Structures are given as structure tokens and as C-alpha cells.
Amino acid sequence: MSHGKQGFRVELDPTAEQRVRLGQHAGLSRVVENFCLALVKATLSQRDAERSYGVPDEQLTPLPWSAPALEKAWRAAHPTLFPWFSEAGLSSRVPKEACRVRAAGLKNWADSRKGARRGRRVGFPAWRKRKHGSRFRYDADRARPTGPRAVALPGVGAVGTREDMSWLTERLSGGGARIIGATVREQADRWWVSFQLDIDRTDVNERRAVDPGAPTCGVDLGIKTFAVVADDTGQVEEVHAPRALKAAQRKLRRANKALARCERGSNNRAKAVHKVAAVHLAVANRRADFLHKLTTRLARTKRAIAVESLNVAGMIRNRRLARAVSDAGFAEFTRQLGYKTDWYGSKLWTADRWYPSSKTCGRCAALNARLTLSDRVWTCLCGAIHDRDHNAARNLLAAMHAAA
């Protein structure tokens, strides 16, 4: 058996009353997260004051840092500070998960300060606001499908879905999958539930496994051409991205202008907010559709794939490239390739970030240090004429074979 983690997302079809309940639970999650943050900040200030009076560290006020400590503080405080929680009959599982989310954020901040966390530095958790979006979580399998077209959500009830879930329900009933958590989220006035699963994908992976004799390839990512795929058979394919954000700029500009003209707090402004959100959702869906189709095709048709490790955060700092880089989704492309190659039995090899794939001549291996971003075609001293992207893809393929 090949057990692993996987997500399963489905759009909900709630009634008007259920929409209200979903919104109440999202508001509850926001209240609990802000309560936890206020408690931690107040305790930190109290400890600083105690230190100024010479109180030893071991005698300072205990800091409610973990999820159990935050949950205990919430249970003690909500009957007095938030009596509406019990009166409204909201699910007790939502505050539990909100405390876990806040505790995880605090731990990430602390680990980042000590250098114990990989990646860029994480700041101290911020207040959660309405504009950050509506979402809440359930732990374990508290939220679960009750059939191919219905989901049971504690505190909300049985909510219909707009999509069939037979693929999931069959695996749950047969023991091939287990729900370990669920997140409910609202986008553009539409609601989704995402199940986090511990699932056995053996049957699917074996049925869709890559052919052992499939070619290997190098993939060079870029802005003008999203991906150049060079096979060891000599074939080169150029893949062009839909540039979803660029295509939606006119529509997005109009929606934002209409929003700016609306009076704050009015019904028309609420409608305008939803129109802007709908444009952003359409952009995200179009980009995700392109990336999923491309990464699935590569993982199922290429025995090994070589990619470069891009400094996306650094590329975004260039104001002339920031929008195009963000629109492309390079990091998401690499992330999806990572788990899909594991699924289908192919290999993913990542070149060092400083590997000069574009500047190295594919014939004589000489380095062209003067190559700039604007140079799309260049000629080496050995006489070889290179298309910048095609040459980079072939070099990545060669580097992968050399490292094998």
C-alpha cells in the first residue's frame, strides 16, 4: 500500500439559511484567532513589566503558547466575553482548530527568529480581519461526506454539493481513505470544503504510472515562453501559459473602478466587492487549470524531469517583472511536479539555483558571462548559435544525466 496525504476540494451548494450559518462560523474562527493573539500580546507585555521589576524568569506569568493552553483560556473566557457563542449553538470544533492555527503561527514565528525554520523569515502573527476572507476548520473527520452529493458540517447541517464525490465516498467506505481535517472557505460569494486525506492511491498510481521506456526531459521556465521542454530524443516543445491575470486586466480595472465609486457600507458596494472577487477567482482557476494539466502530462509521459530552482521572491522584487512572474506560477508548477512525479513513478531533479543553464554553451560548455535577459539568441565562440530557452532546457537535461 502507498499511503500519503492528498486534498479533495468540492464546491458546496448551501441554502440561504446555511449560508448564514457558514458565515457565523467563519466569524467565530476570526474572533477566536484574535482573542488568542490579544491574550498572547497582553501576556508578553505583562512579562516585560514583571522583568522591569526584577521578577526572575521562572516566576513570570506563564505564556499561553500552545494550542491546549489557548483553548483552555478560550473555554474559560467565552461564557463572559462571548456569550453569543453558546446561545447561537455554533460548533465547538471551530474554536479548537482556530487555537491550533494561532499556535502554529506563533511557533513558526519563534522558530524563524531562532533560525530553526527553513525559508524566508516569518513575522509575528497579525490580526485577522474580514477582508482577509472567510474560512474555518474542523478537526479529524467531524466534517465528512454523507453521500455522493452531501456533506455533514457540525453546527451547519447537511449541505449539498455542486459536484459528485463518488471517488471520495467509495474510498472512505472501503477503508482506502481517512479524513484528517477539513477547511471551509468562501470566495466570490461561493463556498468550498477541502478535505485533507490520508489516502491509499496504489490503484490509481499503478494504472497511470509512467512508461519505463518514456523519455527524460529538461524544462526551462520563462516569462515569454512559460516552459521549453527538451527530450533526450531531440524533440523540443514550447508551452505557452494563458497569462490569466494579464488577460483579465481590463475587466479587473473596470470592476475596481466601479467598486471605488460605491459608498462604503452600501449594498451596491457589497455587490461590487463580489464582482472584483469573481474576476480574481476566474484568474486563479484558469491558472490552476493550466498548471495541473501541464504537470500531470509531464509526470505521466516523462521518466525523469530536470527543472531549475528559481528565486521567485527575488524575481518579484523587479517591478518590471513582478506581475508577469506572479501570473506565471513558477513555484506552484515545481510544487505540483514534486508530488505528481512521486505518484506516477517518475523522477524530479532540481538544478542548483546558481547553475548557469542559459549562459552555458550546449556544444563546448563555455560560459557566456555577458548574456543578458534581453538576449534571446546568442552565438558562442565555437560557432554554435543558441536559442536561449532551448539551450537552457538541453543543459538542464544534460546536467541531470551527468548527476545520475
Strands 304-308 and 190-200: unpaired
d(CA 396, CA 306): 6
Residues carrying an active site annotation: 220, 308, 389
Q: pLDDT tens digit string along 171-203?
A: 999 999 999 999 999 999 999 999 999 999 988
Which domains are assigned to the chain? 3-202 (no CATH), 210-242+293-403 (3.30.420)
* Nine-digit cell string for 402: 551527468
pLDDT at 404 > cutoff 80: no
The residue among 255, 208, 184 whose CA lies nearest residue 18 is: 184
- Phi, psi (rounded to 5 degrees) for 393: -65, -40
pTM: 0.88
Q: Is 196 helix (H, G, I), strand (E, B) or coil?
A: strand
76 Cα distance to chain centroid: 34
DSSP 58-127: GGSPPP--SHHHHHHHHHHHHHHH-THHHHTT--THHHHHHHHHHHHHHHHHHHHHHT-S-SSPPPPP--
* Nine-digit cell string for 370: 555577458
d(CA 191, CA 188): 8
H or E element at residue 362:
none
pLDDT at 351 > cutoff 80: yes
- Residues 6+ away with beta carbon under 8 Å from 133: 185, 186, 187
- Tell me which of 130-134, 345-349, 397-401 is least confident: 130-134
* Res 255: pLDDT: 95
- How far CA 258 is from CA of 4, 247, 248, 269, 287, in Å, comes to 46, 19, 15, 9, 25
Q: State the average pLDDT over residues 82-88.
A: 93
d(CA 309, CA 312): 9
Q: pLDDT tens digit string along 117-128?
A: 887 788 999 999
- Across-strand partners of 221? 227
Mean pLDDT over all residues of the chain?
A: 92
* Nine-digit cell string for 94: 471551530
Helices and strands, counts by H and E, the chain: 13, 14
* Nine-digit cell string for 274: 463580489
Q: pLDDT tens digit string along 44-60?
A: 999 999 999 998 988 89
d(CA 252, CA 248): 6
Q: State the average pLDDT over residues 292-301.
A: 96
Q: pLDDT tens digit string along 109-118?
A: 999 988 888 8
Q: State the average pLDDT over residues 245-250.
A: 94
CB atoms within 10 A of CB 15: 11
Q: Greater confidence, 156 or 131?
A: 156
Q: State the average pLDDT over residues 266-277.
A: 93
- Residues 6+ away with beta carbon under 8 Å from 369: 359
pLDDT at 204 > cutoff 60: yes
Q: State the average pLDDT over residues 247-257.
A: 95
Q: Greater confidence, 306 or 1?
A: 306
* Res 244: pLDDT: 93
Scan for cell 515569454, then name that residue.
224
d(CA 344, CA 362): 30
Label residue 378 by pLDDT band (50, 70, 90): confident
* Res 115: pLDDT: 86
pLDDT at 16 > cutoff 70: yes
pLDDT at 38 > cutoff 80: yes
d(CA 106, CA 123): 9
CB atoms within 10 A of CB 349: 18
Contact 341, 348 (CB under 8 A): yes
- Across-strand partners of 10? 193
CB atoms within 10 A of CB 189: 15
Q: State the average pLDDT over residues 234-248.
A: 93
Label residue 353 by pLDDT band (50, 70, 90): confident
* Res 2: pLDDT: 62
pLDDT at 375 > cutoff 90: no
- Across-strand partners of 12? 161
Q: State the average pLDDT over residues 367-377.
A: 86
